[in-house]
Amino acid sequence: MCKERELSFSIFILYALAEKWKMTPATVYKILNSTGILDNYIIAGYDMLHTQGKEYLVEDITEFVREKGVNI
């Protein structure tokens, strides 16, 4: 189970990606959850990732999602 700070960070990322990808946060959540990126990268990597800027995070995660075979 994640802590409040990881949850808040995940929500921030969901909305940032939704804005960039022009999708609803619910759709972004489904993509990140189904690929394992939400649990295994965003939440697990919170300590490192939360120090990065929004633009970097959006580009990094977008690239990672594409590597998983999702067309964004």
What pLDDT sits at residue 57?
A: 97
What pLDDT sits at residue 1?
A: 64
φ, ψ for residue 6, nearest 5 deg? -70, -40
List per-block mean pLDDT (blocks of 10 residues) for the chain, which spans 72 residues: 90 98 98 97 96 97 97 90
Q: For the purposes of burial, counting CB atoms within 10 Å of the CB of 36, is it exposed (0-12), middle (13-18) or buried (19 or more)? A: exposed
Report d(CA 58, CA 21) in Å as an integer: 9
Report d(CA 4, CA 21) in Å as an integer: 25
Joined together, the tokens standing for residue 12 give 């921030």
What pLDDT sits at residue 2?
A: 76
